């Protein structure tokens, strides 16, 4: 991922504030040419600076009201295969490799406790998975956010808004 300059940061800041803003609106708001904004957005998307839009959809809206974090202890030579197998399970919404006692942190969603049991059994049956530990998520106290980081990257006094005329 390439380093972002302050214009990229201001563009991401404006997009974070209004994710459905058109390229034209973003260009007007930042005082940039439409083609400049479009080119920068394309570069940011291809450079993985933007997460997929599906991350905005809440699993609860789809009936998955239960969320859990599962740590996996995996045979070391199986990490890649286990990761690929987890990616094939729709209820697995995120997988992170860890240092320390556990090898993987897996965020899963389930309809209810019975569904979580079924999913846990599926995960335990994957070749290479040696053990799991599950913790239920009770409530999200801070949503995933990057606003403060964007503010810092945009620099002091660089508020997105109409350019002075």
Give the residues of the chain that fall short of pLDDT 70.
1-2, 157-165
Q: Which residue has the tokens 């839009």?
A: 53
**pLDDT computed for residue 1 by the predictor:** 62
How many whole angstroms separate alpha carbon 71 and alpha carbon 123? 11
How many whole angstroms separate alpha carbon 106 and alpha carbon 114? 18
Domains belonging to the chain, first-starting first, are 6-54 (1.10.10.10), 61-136 (3.30.70.920)
**pLDDT computed for residue 157 by the predictor:** 60
**pLDDT computed for residue 156 by the predictor:** 75
19-42 pLDDT, tens per residue? 889 999 999 999 999 999 999 999
**pLDDT computed for residue 47 by the predictor:** 86
**pLDDT computed for residue 56 by the predictor:** 79
């Amino acid at each position: 991922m390439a380093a972002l300059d302050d214009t990229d940061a201001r563009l991401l800041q404006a997009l974070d504030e209004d994710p459905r803003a058109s390229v034209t609106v973003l260009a007007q708001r930042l005082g940039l040419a439409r083609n400049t904004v479009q080119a920068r957005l394309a570069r940011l998307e291809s450079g993985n600076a933007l997460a997929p839009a599906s991350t905005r959809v809440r699993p609860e809206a789809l009936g998955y009201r239960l969320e859990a974090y599962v740590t996996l202890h995996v045979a070391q030579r199986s990490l890649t295969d286990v990761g690929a197998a987890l990616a094939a399970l729709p209820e697995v919404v995120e997988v992170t490799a860890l240092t320390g006692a556990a090898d993987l942190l897996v965020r899963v969603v389930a309809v209810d406790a019975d569904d979580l049991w079924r999913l846990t059994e599926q995960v335990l049956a994957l070749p290479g998975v040696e053990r799991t530990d599950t913790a239920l998520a009770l409530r999200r106290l801070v949503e995933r956010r990057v606003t403060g980081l964007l503010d810092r990257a945009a620099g002091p006094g660089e508020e997105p808004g109409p350019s002075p005329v």
